[in-house]
Chains A and B, each alone.
Chain A
Amino acid sequence: MLLADITLFQIVKQLSEGLLVSTEIFFLTLIFALPLGLLIAFGRMSKFTPLRWLCIFYISVLRGTPLMLQLLVWYFAPFYLFGIKLSSLAIGDIDYRFTAVIIGFALNYAAYFAEIYRSGIESMPKGQYEAATVLGYTKTQTFFRIIMPQVVKRILPPITNETITLVKDTSLAFSLAVLEMFTIAKEIASAQTTMMPFVIAGLFYYIFNFIVAAFMGWVEKKLNYYR
């Protein structure tokens, strides 16, 4: 009676709600991690040694520990370190759970993005900087008008890689009981003893990534203006 057979429509409807949460995590992570990664990349290449070491340490720790563990740390640290009740950290309707997921994802992905930016920036031949100096470009102008446009083109494939991984990683939010798509799929599967939610969730993830890959491919083509 209560565990009656669930219709396909009901599964899809509930998973769609989860997909919305997954999508939110995806976009918010990109919005914060892409610029933050650039800052860290600059720090990593800085001539100021303490800053450089700090960034190296940051990247090393964030890349070297599981994201799931980092999420638990960001979520529970305010309470266990400072005794702050987590319910008081809610921003309006947004539970701190979700905020912690975004903090965790953004800081983690920024570490990966930083190294991708660095690989792009350091691949630029020194001659370009010299030529720019001769032509009277300032350092800032050189970077934003000459170096960065080429870097963006070069790093698009690894960025696409990382972005696709991000879509799938959103399922890690389950460790903080954020109701993204995979958590919901598991709950439906438990209640109804059916594998269908997993099949549909898999399909949704694939379609999501297909769109991401197609979009990035389109951007790559657009930027291919010298050939």
Chain B
Amino acid sequence: MLKKLLPLFAAALCLLTACGGEKEKTFTVGFDANFPPYGFKDTNGEYTGFDLELAEEVARRNGWKLVKKPINWDAKDMELSSGNIDCIWNGFTINGREGKYEWTKPYVDNSQVVVVLKDSSINKHSDLAGKVVTVQTDTPIQKALKPDGDLKTIGGTFKELRTVANYNQAVMELEAGSCDAVAIDIGVANSKMNSGKFRMLEDPLMKEQYGIGFLKGNTELRDLVEKTLIEMVKDGTAAKISAKYFKGEDVLIIGK
């Protein structure tokens, strides 16, 4: 009886310790799947986006297997420090988070813009006084608009600075009329413009830069990814990927 069970035990143990042996090196990118065009679900249900496609190419050139890991944005730091993901690569703003992660050089210039309904009376930042403005939780723009933030002169005039879980919900609130404006990354704002229901104020609220964030101390992987990304910019691959997601535009600023 015991003899019969022994191989079973061995197999179970094998499964538990994952003794696959020749394991391929993986590169696990954590991203928020609610953040088009950087990371989102395409119509077939596959995860794609500008950042993910760049990551795919970086992984391919280094002979790694890319794992796209959608994460809950609130738990991103826990996911990173517990080793679930190797980096956060998802329109991830450096400004205001400088010391928290091991950053690559900035690769995309981003600005935070104000999106309002098409027929709204808001045309400039001062028109936001006494209005309800929605932002995504744990973002630099939220920090900046708070009473002690860099944009407190604008944020202080709001009737309310409302925080929601993701940008989609912010845009839904705007559409439904429960807030007057949304402060949002320009790339995401552009992806919402197709519907024809919204418009963007000309002046951005603030300029910032995107980088790829690694766990503090993980300079080795950071350097490797950065080097590969710069190579991709130099040989034009990155520009091609950019053109696909930003209407022909090359948004990359790294390696130039």
A-B interaction: yes
From 70 to 88 in chain A, residues with beta carbon under 8 angstroms from any chain B beta carbon are 72, 76, 79-80, 85-88
Contacting pair A6 B82 (CB below 8 A): no
In the assembly, what is the distance between CA of A183 and CA of B244, in Å? Answer: 26
A199 interface residue (CB < 8 Å to B): no
Which has the most chain A C-beta neighbours within 10 Å: B15, B45, B194?
A: B45
Task: Verify if A156 is at the interface (C-beta below 8 Å from B).
Answer: no
Report Cα–Cα, A4/B40, bound state, in Å.
13
Is residue A2 within 8 Å, beta carbon to beta carbon, of the partner chain? yes
A85 to B18, CA, bound (A): 13
Q: In the assembly, what is the distance between CA of A5 and CA of B194, in Å? A: 11
Known contacts A3-B36, A88-B18, A91-B16: does B48 contact A187 (CB below 8 Å)? no
Is A191 among interface residues, defined by CB-CB distance under 8 A?
A: yes
Identify the closest chain A residue to B76 (Cβ). Answer: A177
Q: How many residues on B have C-beta within 8 angstroms of the other chain's C-beta atoms?
A: 37
Binds B, one of A9-17, A41-49, A137-145, A207-215: A9-17
A90 within 8 Å of B by Cβ? yes
Question: Which of B34, B84, B167, B172 has the most chain A CB within a 10 Å cutoff?
Answer: B84
A210 to chain B, nearest CB (A): 26
Which residues of chain B from 29 to 65 have any CB-CB distance to chain A below 8 Å in the complex? 33-37, 40-45, 48
CB-based nearest A residue for B188: A190
Q: Which residues of A are found within 8 Å of B81, using beta-carbon distances?
A: 79
CB pair B168 A190 closer than 8 Å? yes
Closest to A18 in B: B45
Q: Are B71 and A177 in contact (CB under 8 A)?
A: yes
B18 touches A175 (CB 8 A): no
- Is B75's CB within 8 Å of the partner chain A? yes
The number of chain A residues touching the other chain, given as a range, is 35 or more
Whether A187 contacts B41 by the Cβ 8 Å rule is yes
Take A2-B48, A92-B15, A177-B69 as given contacts and tell me if A193 and B82 are in contact as well, using a CB distance cutoff of 8 Å: no
A171 to chain B, nearest CB (A): 13
Report whether B45 and A4 are in contact in the complex, using a CB–CB cutoff of 8 Å: no
Q: Do A174 and B244 touch (CB < 8 A)?
A: no
- CB pair A190 B83 closer than 8 Å: no
CA distance A110 to B82 in the complex (A): 28
Whether B131 is near chain A, meaning CB under 8 Å from some CB there, is no
Q: Are B15 and A2 in contact (CB under 8 A)?
A: no
A176 sits at the interface (CB 8 A) = yes
Instruction: Report the minimal beta-carbon distance from A106 to chain B, rounded to whole angstroms.
Output: 19
- Interface status of A224 (Cβ within 8 A of chain B): no
B42 touches A177 (CB 8 A): no
Q: Is B166 an interface residue (CB 8 A)?
A: yes
Cβ of B83: which chain A residues have Cβ within 8 Å of it? 79, 85-87
A residues near B37, Cβ cutoff 8 Å? 2-3
| Neighbouring B residues of A2 by C-beta, 8 Å | 37, 42, 48, 244-245
> What residue in chain B is nearest A4 (Cβ atoms)?
B43
Compute how far the CA of A176 lies from the CA of B81 in the bound complex, rounded to whole angstroms: 15
Interface assignment of A179: CB less than 8 Å from any CB of chain B: yes
Q: Is the CB of A80 within 8 A of B70?
A: no
A14 and B40 alpha carbons, distance in the complex (Å)? 14
Residue of A with least CB distance to B176? A195
Question: Complex Cα distance A195/B191, Å?
Answer: 16
**4 A-B pairs closest in CB distance:** A190-B168, A190-B34, A79-B82, A191-B40
